[in-house]
Amino acid sequence: MKKLLASTCMMFGLLAVASHANAADCGSLTIASMNWQSAEVLSNLDKIILNEGYGCQAEITVGDTVPTITSMAEKGEPDIAPEAWIDLLPDVVKKGTDEGRIVKVGSPLPDGGVQGWWIPKYLADAHPDLKTIPDMLKHPELFPDAEDSSKGAIYNGPQGWGGTVVTSQLYKAFDAEKAGFKLVDTGSAAGLDGSIAKAYERKEGWVGYYWAPTALLGKYEMVKLGAGVPADAAEWKRCNTVADCADPKPNAWPTDTIVTLVAKPFSEKAGPDVMAYLGKRAWSNDTVNKLMAWMSDNQASGEDGAKHFLKENKDIWTKWVSEDAAKKIEASL
């Protein structure tokens, strides 16, 4: 009996040591927080879950897309980029993965980064025939310009944005001027947001450039118009994204690929539970839109937003983590 008890105690002791070793393996790490809202809240979410659920010692470091991904690909630092828009640096990401410095671990936003021309949902509901850009261009009267109601208005972003260049090129490619539309320069991000808010409050027609996930689309429900033509990646690169290209063709806006990047050394020491979490952790654009809208309305930080999400969405995040980790995270809130 004494031998059995001794064996049992030894077994539990070994399990405890193994569990402690897994937590210790995770150790100290850095998480890149990019300078936009969805990435900020996701980095804070990862910090809380890894620290409270898996015994890591994660710290957030401020970053941006180009320097963060480049540093990871060349130096293996920081350890995690939770929301990496890799289509911006395809060659850098390929080189980093080929040389074994970084690994892609799932996608936090499987819907992808969605850009394009949008209309309010109340307008889409009232006019179910408005599904594509060509459909919309048949009805300038539904989108009257504020200064000349005989014309339709297509709202563009501020100068300097890639989406502004593409919208200007698509305006030419789809012959929108000939269809009776003006291209309106909103002047700034605030001007663009304000034009949507004003239209929504008055239930007026609006069409223009926007993207998801964003706080604004969590507050004002919008519907993205289809292009009505197949996507042509070569043509997109040749002309749709080039401001001074004279002959743009109608094209479909590609969906941006978003992944979690992990430095290879950390991926090898983190342990299977941590890597499983990073691979499973994913939320829809609609979920993020609503969370960011709450953050904006409450002037909440990324940490505030992460804690709010954990408290209000147990049905989502508990599927990402182990049962033991879920209990520890819940107890920490």
Continuous segment of H or E residues that includes residue 119: strand 114-120
pLDDT at 173: 98
Where along the chain do its domains lie?
28-111+257-332, 113-254
Q: What is the pLDDT of residue 17?
A: 38
Each residue of 233-272: pLDDT tens digit?
A: 999 999 999 999 999 999 999 999 999 999 999 999 999 9
pLDDT tens track for 158-195:
988 889 999 999 999 999 999 999 999 999 999 999 99
Domain 28-111+257-332 has CATH 3.40.50.2000: no
Do 28-111+257-332 and 113-254 share a fold? yes
What pLDDT is attached to residue 160? 85
Q: What angle do CA 226, 205, 239 make, to 5 degrees?
A: 40
What share of the chain in percent tops pLDDT 70? 93
Q: What does the pLDDT look like over 267-307, one tens digit per residue? A: 999 999 999 999 999 999 999 999 999 999 999 999 999 99
Predicted local confidence at residue 22, as pLDDT:
44
What's the pLDDT at 214? 93
Residue showing tokens 């954990």 = 310
Tell me what the mean pLDDT of segment 141-146 comes to.
Answer: 96
**Beta strands 222-224; 114-120: pairing state:** antiparallel
* pLDDT for residue 127 is more than 90: yes
Q: Cβ distance 31 to 82 under 8 Å?
A: yes
| 299/74 Cα distance (integer angstroms) | 36
113-254 sits in which CATH class? Answer: alpha beta
Give me the mean pLDDT over the 184-213 stretch.
96
Using the predicted structure, report yes or no on whether residue 131 has a pLDDT greater than 70. yes
Average pLDDT of the chain is: 91
Residue 76 and residue 58: Cα distance in Å, rounded? Answer: 16
Summarize the confidence of residues 26-53 as an average pLDDT.
Answer: 95
Question: What pLDDT, on the 0 to 100 scale, is given for residue 119?
Answer: 98
